[in-house]
């Protein structure tokens, strides 16, 4: 490894606008053996104002982003939350990833630890971030380390980060003002700050942030706990549509993803893991391929420690290391490998898993709601309606296959990766290498799609294990698409049985809901727990589990995506059984509840219905369907509520077209970047269309069958609805987030449109497998 | 084996098996990483670049097939984002994760060369690249805008 010299790699990605810099620091071999005194992220010539903000003499504001940009717009929205309070020139803002290493070594400032305000319905406050003790295996909990939550998950970057990012901007602004006040010997209360300029109106004196920043860096705030954040009525940048700062780099090919990282002396690793989860390598014959071009060595690695992969059991495997990835991949494809496959896991098929889930519905489950006397009400029913629905295993299949580049020295680990949970990856690196977390450096890159934090799977763990066996050599491990289908986590396959007792007018008097997914699936209670969203006086909900071998995780929408399909499909069926309009049926059942946000849900339905022309005539073969989308509406905490009407046509030969979508979406007290919200809504519409019509992973002999895009179809532009209308309405609470669970309504809506047009009711997704022809 | 490739107007001598897919020679030998790997079987189009003016899924053609022909990647379109397609892409803030967008833009370039004023049906038929974030709604608008810009209709 003499090829590695001490140097700093600065991959400067400067575009005309929105320039950004990724700093790649690479230690020399000698330096890797000692603790470096200079951290890669520090710019020695410029002192930071605080851990989030560096202001250069030319007024450039570097804002450190502790979440990962994966298309949701966090690179821009996090920066907006800070810049709003900093009152800097937005055109001079330059995002940069925050240091996960520094996060291991420094505690969060005290002034970030207390959430201002009084909860979800206080416009002046910080809402209800998901605080808790640090928990490496759970999704809840924000550590009290420097950057608090570095996860990018659960659509929570605004929900959890807003108040302390606003505080970070405000603290820096106040210190800039204090520094200017000291320089001019005037009270800081006489100064104003706007657009990176500080003015003393009484004397006409002005200075710029760039000119005063170094003094501000040396000026601690005497009472940072007194600093407040702006409420939405004071926002000037937040709440406006801002183009995303990463876009210029993504249209020129200059954005750096994990797969693009190149280091001197770097070798490439291709891997094969046992295609049946829980399996391991029995033997492999490296000698058979050792002579192939570029091939260097091989590494067998075990099933990643479940303690590092949130309890999930993936597979053991083997890596071939070569000069280029294609050489490594070509060689490993020819290498004989035998697997140890647990027979019980190899016995799983989609059919027997479905049977197990259906059987689980009839075993005792976890009761999540029990109101009234359900059994008595069923005995007095005029009519009983029941239905069983199912949803398949679904991967995220992000476009960038799993990868990571790792260099393990004797006392330092460097990892270049697009990662949704860098704090956990840091922990994994320490556990695997025995090198403390404080010596683990993550160099965060953009991620080519996310769609669920745990879906990154053990990409980092594979690369760390391989690099740990090749200390001193940077190893870039890249999964093939087929390996990505093994290495990802899946949204759990699910089934649901819903049963309702209707009175003589067709209104439900009792409902018994049972859902089942495999143990460990995420959101097993979603959308039905605590109480029914649609009024029913006698309500019972239980969720049931069984054990399968597939590593399940937080795929976009988690349990809610499936459960809203079940719930909204069933409400459509009840409305049809009652002979009532599905929009007005929903509206009346919401109106009868005492849910705190029922008016918001009704507003969403009314607005979407009106936007769509609900009730006006449509051509034969075209139908509208409506559905409610909510998260958090069971209580009075944070929530996100929307409704959509989908206009769907079906040709006589069964071709489904989503013609038009009308979206009514709440803003809560305020959206940070409404442009990003619109983009997320548009994207999720076609995402869930794709789920509803095409996508499924099936299991045969314990293996995932559909493992590349020839068998796992992705919707293309021809399936994007020609018309998407989005309107927002204000509400009086903070939002839970909207990056992953909007447009779930596409699923039930297409089902009801199929029923309206063809007379057939299908309850198993995806619909594309069904006979949709009609005459 | 050494052979020459001309990429974005620059001649490169590369030492690789000429049967290596063009994608990997472009990314790992020549060092242009704007062209992406995703499926490896020519399905998704993330690796789309131009060989001799035609859009090619570079994961599925050998590098040898590009010998003696001009190759253009996203980096050859314009480094500063001023090509009309890039300008239109920025106007609609089109990318989300952005991983597919190099291929999407290169497919759009091929479409607009063949059909300077594409209809929606042309777009549906010719833009067969996959975008997992489903940025299609803005891609369609941006293609129409790019077509107008390329004809100077501002």
- pLDDT tens digits, residue range A167-223? 999 999 999 999 999 999 999 999 999 999 999 999 999 999 999 999 999 999 999
Predicted confidence at residue A456, as pLDDT, reads 78
Task: Indicate yes or no: CB of B96 within 8 angstroms of CB of A397.
Answer: no
Q: Where are the alpha helices (H) located in chain B, listed in sequence order? A: 22-24, 74-77, 84-91, 101-114, 120-126, 136-150
Query: Going by C-beta distance under 8 Å and a sequence separation of 6 or more, which residues neighbour residue A176?
Result: A49, A55, A193, A198, A209, A212, A213, A216
- pLDDT tens digits, residue range B75-91? 999 999 999 999 999 99
- Closest approach of A153 to chain B, Cα-based (Å): 15
A142 band by pLDDT with thresholds 50, 70 and 90: low
- pLDDT tens digits, residue range A32-51? 333 333 333 445 578 999 99
What are the domain boundaries of chain A?
48-250, 258-343+402-478, 350-394+491-769
Looking at the partner chain, which of A16, A248, A683 has a beta carbon nearest the beta carbon of B96?
Answer: A683
A8 band by pLDDT with thresholds 50, 70 and 90: very low
- pLDDT tens digits, residue range B29-49? 999 999 999 999 999 999 999
Helices (H) and strands (E) in chain A, counts: 18, 30
Q: Tell me which chain B residues have a C-beta less than 8 angstroms from the C-beta of A268.
A: 28
- Closest approach of B36 to chain A, Cα-based (Å): 8
Predicted confidence at residue A141, as pLDDT, reads 53
Are B24 and A293 in contact by the 8 Å Cβ rule? The answer is no
Predicted confidence at residue A194, as pLDDT, reads 97
- Rounded distance, CA A155 to CA A153, Å? 6
Looking at the partner chain, which of B28, B82, B96 has a beta carbon nearest the beta carbon of A325?
Answer: B28
Query: Going by C-beta distance under 8 Å and a sequence separation of 6 or more, which residues neighbour residue A581?
Result: A575, A615
Higher pLDDT, A129 or B124: B124
A738 in contact with B, Cβ within 8 Å: no
What phi and psi values does residue A310 have, to the nearest 5 degrees?
50, 40
Task: Indicate yes or no: CB of A717 within 8 angstroms of CB of B124.
Answer: yes
Predicted confidence at residue A588, as pLDDT, reads 98
DSSP state of B21: B
- pLDDT tens digits, residue range A421-454? 999 999 999 999 999 999 999 999 999 999 987 7
Domain A48-250 listed as CATH 3.30.365.10: yes
**Topology of domain A258-343+402-478, CATH:** Aldehyde Oxidoreductase; domain 4 (3.30.365)
Looking at the partner chain, which of B33, B73, B97 has a beta carbon nearest the beta carbon of A71?
Answer: B97
Predicted confidence at residue A155, as pLDDT, reads 84
Domains and CATH numbers, chain B: 2-77 (3.10.20.30), 84-150 (1.10.150.120)
Residue A332 has pLDDT above 80, yes or no: yes
Selected residues 64-93 of chain A with any CB under 8 Å from a CB in chain B:
69-73
What phi and psi values does residue A29 have, to the nearest 5 degrees?
-60, -45
Q: Tell me which chain A residues have a C-beta less than 8 angstroms from the C-beta of B44.
A: 399, 709, 714
Q: Look at residues A462, A428, A489 and name the one whose alpha carbon lies nearest to residue A136.
A: A428
- Rounded distance, CA A353 to CA A350, Å? 5
- The whole-number average pLDDT for the span A121-126 is 96
Selected residues 378-407 of chain A with any CB under 8 Å from a CB in chain B:
397-401
Higher pLDDT, A20 or A667: A667
A131 band by pLDDT with thresholds 50, 70 and 90: low
Burial class for A133, CB neighbours closer than 10 Å (0-12, 13-18, 19+): exposed
Residue A661 has pLDDT above 50, yes or no: yes
Q: DSSP 3-state assignment of A334?
A: helix
Looking at the partner chain, which of B21, B41, B86 has a beta carbon nearest the beta carbon of A252?
Answer: B86
Residue A23 has pLDDT above 80, yes or no: no
Looking at the partner chain, which of B21, B44, B82 has a beta carbon nearest the beta carbon of A714?
Answer: B44
Percent of chain A topping pLDDT 90: 87
Lowest mean pLDDT among A104-108, A247-251, A508-512, A527-531: A104-108
Lowest mean pLDDT among A130-139, B14-23, B48-57, B119-128: A130-139
A718 in contact with B, Cβ within 8 Å: yes
Domain A350-394+491-769 listed as CATH 3.30.365.10: yes
Predicted confidence at residue A148, as pLDDT, reads 87
ipTM over 0.95: yes
User: Do A48-250 and A258-343+402-478 fold alike per CATH?
Assistant: yes
Q: Tell me which chain A residues have a C-beta less than 8 angstroms from the C-beta of B82.
A: 16
Size of interface A-B (CB pairs under 8 A): 187
- The whole-number average pLDDT for the span B56-64 is 97
Residue A28 has pLDDT above 70, yes or no: no
Predicted confidence at residue A129, as pLDDT, reads 87
Selected residues 440-499 of chain A with any CB under 8 Å from a CB in chain B:
446-451, 478, 480-481
Q: Which residue of B has its CA nearest to A711?
A: B43
**Residue with tokens 């003002």, as numbered in its chain:** A177
- Closest approach of B3 to chain A, Cα-based (Å): 17
Predicted confidence at residue A45, as pLDDT, reads 73
Q: What is the pTM for the complete model shown?
A: 0.94
DSSP state of A98: P
Residue B143 has pLDDT above 50, yes or no: yes
Predicted confidence at residue A143, as pLDDT, reads 73
Higher pLDDT, A6 or A362: A362
- The whole-number average pLDDT for the span A365-377 is 98
User: Which residues sit opposite A389 in a β-bridge?
Assistant: A496
Cα B102 to chain centroid, rounded: 5
What is chain A's mean pLDDT, rounded? 92
Task: Indicate yes or no: CB of A251 within 8 angstroms of CB of B105.
Answer: yes
């Amino acid at each position: 490894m003499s090829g590695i010299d001490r140097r700093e790699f600065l991959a400067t990605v400067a575009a005309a606008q929105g320039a950004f810099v990724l700093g790649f620091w690479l230690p020399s071999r000698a330096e890797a053996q000692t603790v470096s005194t200079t951290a890669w992220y520090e710019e020695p010539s410029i002192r930071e104002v605080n851990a989030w903000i560096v202001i250069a003499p030319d007024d450039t504001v570097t804002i450190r982003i502790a979440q990962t940009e994966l298309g949701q717009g966090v690179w821009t929205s996090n920066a907006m939350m800070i810049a709003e309070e900093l009152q800097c020139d937005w055109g001079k803002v330059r995002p940069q990833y925050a240091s996960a290493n520094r996060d291991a070594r420094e505690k969060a400032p005290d002034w970030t630890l207390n959430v201002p305000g009084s909860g979800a319905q206080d416009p002046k406050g910080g809402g209800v971030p998901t605080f808790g003790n640090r928990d490496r295996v759970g999704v809840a909990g924000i550590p009290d380390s420097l950057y608090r939550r570095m996860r990018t998950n659960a659509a929570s970057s605004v929900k959890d980060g807003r108040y302390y990012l606003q505080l970070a901007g405000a603290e820096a602004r106040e210190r800039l003002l204090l520094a200017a006040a000291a320089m001019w010997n005037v009270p800081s209360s006489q100064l104003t700050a706007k657009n990176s300029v500080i003015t003393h109106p009484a004397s006409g004196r002005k200075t710029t942030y760039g000119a005063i920043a170094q003094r501000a860096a040396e000026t601690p705030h005497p009472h940072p706990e007194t600093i407040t954040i702006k409420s939405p009525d004071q926002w000037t940048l937040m709440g406006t549509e801002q183009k995303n700062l990463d876009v210029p780099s993504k249209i020129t090919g200059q954005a750096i993803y994990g797969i693009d990282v190149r280091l001197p002396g770097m070798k490439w690793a291709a891997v094969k893991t046992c295609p049946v989860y829980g399996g391991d390598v029995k033997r492999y014959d490296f000698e058979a391929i050792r002579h192939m071009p570029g091939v260097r060595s091989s590494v067998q690695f075990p099933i990643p420690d479940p303690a590092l992969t949130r309890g999930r059991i993936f597979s053991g495997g083997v890596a071939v290391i070569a000069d280029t990835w294609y050489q490594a991949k070509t060689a490993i494809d020819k290498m004989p490998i035998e697997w140890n496959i647990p027979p019980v896991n190899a016995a799983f098929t989609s059919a027997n898993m479905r049977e197990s889930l259906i059987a689980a519905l009839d075993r005792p489950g976890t009761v999540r709601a029990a109101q009234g006397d359900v059994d008595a009400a069923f005995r007095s029913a005029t009519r009983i309606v029941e239905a069983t629905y199912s949803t398949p295993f679904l991967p995220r299949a992000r476009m960038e296959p799993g990868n990571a580049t790792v260099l393990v020295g004797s006392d330092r680990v460097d990892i270049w990766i697009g990662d949704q949970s860098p704090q956990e990856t840091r922990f994994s690196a320490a556990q695997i290498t025995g090198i403390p977390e404080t010596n683990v450096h993550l160099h965060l890159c953009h991620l080519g799609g996310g769609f669920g934090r745990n879906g990154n799977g053990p990409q980092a763990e594979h690369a760390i294990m391989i690099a740990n066996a090749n200390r001193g050599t940077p190893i870039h491990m890249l999964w093939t698409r087929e390996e990505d289908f093994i290495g990802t986590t899946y949204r759990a396959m699910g089934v649901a049985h819903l049963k309702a007792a209707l009175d003589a007018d067709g209104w439900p008097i009792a409902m018994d809901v049972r859902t089942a997914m495999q143990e460990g699936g995420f959101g097993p209670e979603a959308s039905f727990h605590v109480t029914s969203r649609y009024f029913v006086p006698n309500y019972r909900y239980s969720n049931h589990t069984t054990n399968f071998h597939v590593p399940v995780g937080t795929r976009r929408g988690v349990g809610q995506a499936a459960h809203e399909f079940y719930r909204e499909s069933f409400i459509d069926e009840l409305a049809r059984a009652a002979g009532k309009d599905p929009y007005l049926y929903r509206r009346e059942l919401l109106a009868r509840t005492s849910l705190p946000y029922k008016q918001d849900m009704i507003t969403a339905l009314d607005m979407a219905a009106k936007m769509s022309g609900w009730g006006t005539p449509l051509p034969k073969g075209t139908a509208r369907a409506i559905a409610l989308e909510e998260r958090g509406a069971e209580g009075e905490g944070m929530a996100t509520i929307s409704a959509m009407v989908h206009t769907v046509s079906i040709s006589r030969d069964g071709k489904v077209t989503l013609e038009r979508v009308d979206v009514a979406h709440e803003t809560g007290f305020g959206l940070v970047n409404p442009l990003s919200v619109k983009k997320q809504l548009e994207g999720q519409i076609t995402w869930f269309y794709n789920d509803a019509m095409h996508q499924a992973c099936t299991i045969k002999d314990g293996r995932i069958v559909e493992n590349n895009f020839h068998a796992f179809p992705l919707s293309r532009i021809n399936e994007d609805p020609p018309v998407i209308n989005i309107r927002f309405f204000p509400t009086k609470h903070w939002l839970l987030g909207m990056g992953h669970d909007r447009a779930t309504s596409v699923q039930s809506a297409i089902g009801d449109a199929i029923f309206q047009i063809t007379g057939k009711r299908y309850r198993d997704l995806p619909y594309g497998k069904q006979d949709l022809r009609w005459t | 084996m050494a052979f020459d490739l001309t990429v974005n107007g620059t001649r490169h001598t590369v030492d690789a098996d000429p049967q290596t897919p063009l994608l990997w020679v472009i990314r790992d030998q020549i060092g242009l990483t704007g062209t992406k790997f995703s499926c490896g079987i020519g399905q998704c189009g993330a690796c789309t670049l131009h060989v001799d003016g035609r859009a090619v899924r570079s994961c599925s053609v050998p590098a040898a097939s590009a010998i003696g022909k001009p190759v253009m990647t996203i980096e050859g379109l314009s480094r500063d984002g001023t090509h009309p397609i890039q300008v239109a892409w920025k106007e609609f803030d089109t990318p989300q994760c952005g991983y597919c967008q190099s291929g999407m833009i290169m497919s759009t370039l091929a479409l607009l060369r063949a059909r300077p004023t594409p209809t929606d049906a042309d777009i549906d038929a010719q833009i067969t690249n996959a975008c997992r974030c489903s940025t299609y709604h803005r891609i369609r608008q941006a293609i129409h805008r790019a077509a107008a810009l390329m004809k100077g209709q501002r």
